[in-house]
Amino acid sequence: MPDLTFVRGDITEQHVDAVVNAANSSLLGGGGVDGAIHRKGGPEILAACRELRAGHYGSGLPTGGAVATTAGRLPARWVIHTVGPVWHGHEDRSELLASCYRESLRVADELGAATVAFPAVSTGIYGWPMDDGARIAVTTVRGTPTSVAEVRFVLFDDAAFTAFAAHQ
């Protein structure tokens, strides 16, 4: 099991092997974490995503899936893009959210990444309740076999940090 750390900060400034991007299925950038990673990482990330779209992911990355690209100008080596589910209170989609974390760790293992930084996937514009998202994230990472040595949850604000820290 990896060491888990929780920091309040900017995921685009993390010196880790891989940062996880809360992407949309198009892989072509968006708002929130996705937009920040594309802006700071530069055009190399978008170019790599376009190549993925031209190949196996022509119809987009499925919810719960993960795929890696270069990190461009970020201080990380790779970006692992994962598509979180949109929150629907009437439908249990927690397995899809858990899959984002498991699949990202699987990709990190394939890359040989020792350190991975995660955002709070799906808790922004996708509307997932922060406390539940934190519980699913921490529980899933703890329960997923991986060779990753450190998983760093990088939380953008105090509310997210507090929710994640409560589950450590």
Report how far residue 70's alpha carbon sits from residue 87's, in angstroms, rounded to the nearest whole number.
29
Catalytic residue among 3, 34, 109, 131: 34
Q: How many residues does the chain have?
A: 168
End-to-end CA distance of the chain: 13
| φ and ψ of 20, to 5 deg | -95, 130
Q: How many helices and strands in the chain, by DSSP H and E? A: 5, 6
Tell me the two tokens of residue 43: 């055009």
Query: Quick check: is 10 catalytic?
Result: no
Beta-bridge partners for 3: 150
**Residues recognised as catalytic:** 34
